[in-house]
Structure 1
């Protein structure tokens, strides 16, 4: 009588159950609806990288207002932070003795003029020698020079603004004794800001006078200040191997002030390249990929090589070409070969129908 072996049927039964399960999973995949996504079609764009650095703002013109003589302050004719015009008086020093000297020089000049006029008439009548008239002419010119010198002494007692600008803090009061070099205030022309920053010597080939720069300050986080490179230093610092660059930035509203630290970006030569939104990029360690739309509204995950980045965009160096359509929004629901429903195309069709 043959021996029955029912256990041999167990592997066959397990195989049947596995095949049935796979068939069920495939059927479930077929029943899964397409993922709703948005896409864009790639076209070359203008791309410009930036060289970045930190720079220090300087005024267009800047000077410390000081006295040139030793004297007491008679009056202070400005307020801190005031805008002044070139030649406007700021401080008047005591000038009693100098005023008296001017009056004396004026009297001497009048006497010299009268004596010269009288001698000229006598010389015309040949009553005195011409040499005597020339001597009197020399005396007249000397009197005029003495008066000019005394007036210059008085002018030194009035300290004036050398150019248009904004004054700093007032550091003296009436009655203060000032000497040459005593600080009175500061004066800055901030209508244009000079911005100095440095780059390594390796960046010299990428810098040129006239290049556009943009600057940002922590004081005004939402503002971008535009300017151009005005000068590139003729020397490279042998210690740091860096070159100093000076940009000029218009400052009509006075937001920028001398001494501020600014983040500077220098625009390099523009080029045509492909760029995608950062949202479309799938990053896994050092590997990057995107979902490219294929025929039949299915996607293929393709590896890409990325280049530079800027706000919200990534440059694509390899892996895509102009005309490719990629998924931007909705990538979390996708895998290689997934079917999609592109709402971008639906919206474009609806707008075309309405038009």
Structure 2
């Protein structure tokens, strides 16, 4: 026996047909809009382009350096003795030869008086012997003995005075003293630190330079530096010397620059950011945001005459101030895409949002990423 199928209500059937038709129209309309313009041509992607130009460029090498005093020493005692008097306070500026500490030397003073008396007696004996030799009353060999005794007595006096001098500790050069480490009555021994002494009227800053830049570094070049303690102060110096050896671990060489420090702002041990300026040269520059890095590949999008784009592999040199140097891959006058590269593929048409020229905001450049660290 045949069974009849259930029939849909007329109202539900009409609603289903309308829904299917609407979906079909929507899909067809969206697909056509995404692929073609009203004229049936592929739509152009709006981008910002730039014209690449060669222009003068001042390279710099950026590094971290350490401040060192022009002269620096830790003042110590030479002998074991009691401190009799301290002649300075922490932070004093002293001249060369200034007395810093006097040690007790009563025993040495007594020894000096005895040595001077013996020397005077030996001198008198020598003079009498000389007179007797002239009168031929004693043998000439006797005067040689008297002369040796006199010379030994004089040497004993000099040695005793040197011992007394070791008990007067003086500043070896002019500079600024650090914190005082001893007090009156303290016992000091050879090597006991009394205070540090630094000549900081001018300071040295040692910083590493990659060996790849060694050929363009020379004494007399200008160096600019900044310290975190004085972020708004630019310190100026010059290269004084270059180390004779390259560090085999970092492949860098130490360069020493001299900085004037009349206001004593720079202190030994401070960290400084230094920039070593080099000779001006001509470089091909592009905005750094135009450079695309995918794995080990580096490229830019160049705009062709028909307003389509192509990927051009490039080699990057130095980077700074939002600019990158093109070493290989582009020529001056080429148009490249700066903004909007994320939605481009080779062969796509572009329309310019704006055209700009590549200009340096600061005439300097630093080492590219991957240079040896300081």
Length-normalised TM-score, structure 1: 0.65
Please name the residue that 2:368 is paired with.
none
CA distance in 2: counterparts of 1:282 and 1:68, whole angstroms = 65
The equivalent residue for 2:118 is: 108
The reply on whether 1:207 has 2:214 as its aligned counterpart is yes
How far the C-alpha of 1:206 sits from its partner, in A, is 4.2
The structure 1 residue matched to 2:53, chosen from 25, 42, 47, is: 42
Per-residue deviation at 1:316? Answer: 2.6
* Stretches of structure 2 lacking an aligned partner (at least 5 in a row): 1-31, 40-47, 340-348, 358-374
Counterpart of 2:259 in structure 1 is 251
Q: 1:230 aligns with which of 226, 230, 242?
A: 242
- How far 1:182 moved relative to its partner? 1.9
- From 163, 187, 195, the counterpart of 1:185: 195
Q: Which residue does 1:77 correspond to in 2? A: 87
- What SS does structure 1 have at the residue aligned with 2:97? coil
Q: Offset at 1:133?
A: 1.1
SS in 2 for 1:109: helix
| CA drift at 1:158 | 0.6
3-state secondary structure, aligned to 2:88: coil
| Cα RMSD (Å) | 4.8
Structure 1 residues 242 and 150: CA distance shift in structure 2, 3 A: same
Indicate the residue corresponding to 1:33 in structure 2.
none
Match of 2:229 in 1: 219
One of 316, 323, 346 as aligned partner of 1:307: 316
How much has 1:92 moved relative to structure 2? 0.8
Q: Secondary structure at the match of 2:69?
A: strand
CA 1:338–1:206: 2 relative to 1, 3 Å: closer
Distance 2:355 2:77 in 1: 79
Kindly state the Cα deviation for residue 134 of structure 1 after the two structures are TM-superposed. Answer: 1.1
2:211–2:246 Cα contact (<8 Å) kept: no
**Per the alignment, in what secondary structure is the counterpart of residue 48 of structure 1?**
strand
The aligned counterpart of 1:93 is 103
The alignment partner of 2:126 has SS state of: helix
Q: Secondary structure at the match of 2:254?
A: strand
1:161 alignment partner in structure 2: 171
* Deviation at residue 137 of structure 1 after TM alignment: 0.7
**Residue 127 of structure 1 corresponds to which residue in structure 2?**
137
More helix by share: 1
Q: SS of 1:273's equivalent?
A: strand
* 1:88 Cα offset (Å): 2.5
